[in-house]
Amino acid sequence: MEEVHGDPNKFKAVINVLPDTDVFVWLMFSLNIRLILSETNKKPIVLKGEARKTKRVKDAIEEIKHRFIDIINP
């Protein structure tokens, strides 16, 4: 369990469990996203609109498809 919001141990655990994952999806910007941006070459995506509101995987996939160019071009 997180000791504090944005716990660096949680960040490291996520990265270690998913080492081959290039893109991470979040519902809102967090301290862990800042750590991912500053300490890895991975791309965190913060959902917007319908996907953020519904929290459905289907909606998240649709949003990622529509934002694909932004995702691959930092």
Q: Over the stretch 10-58, which tens digit does the pLDDT of each residue have?
A: 878 888 888 888 888 888 888 878 888 888 888 888 898 889 999 999 9
Instruction: Report how far residue 58's alpha carbon sits from residue 62's, in angstroms, rounded to the nearest whole number.
Output: 6
Total number of domains in the chain: 1
Token digits of residue 66: 């529509």
Q: Which domain holds residue 19?
A: 8-72
Inside any domain, residue 37: yes
Instruction: Report how far residue 22's alpha carbon sits from residue 31's, in angstroms, rounded to the nearest whole number.
Output: 18
Instruction: Report how far residue 54's alpha carbon sits from residue 57's, in angstroms, rounded to the nearest whole number.
Output: 9
Check residue 72 and give its pLDDT: 75
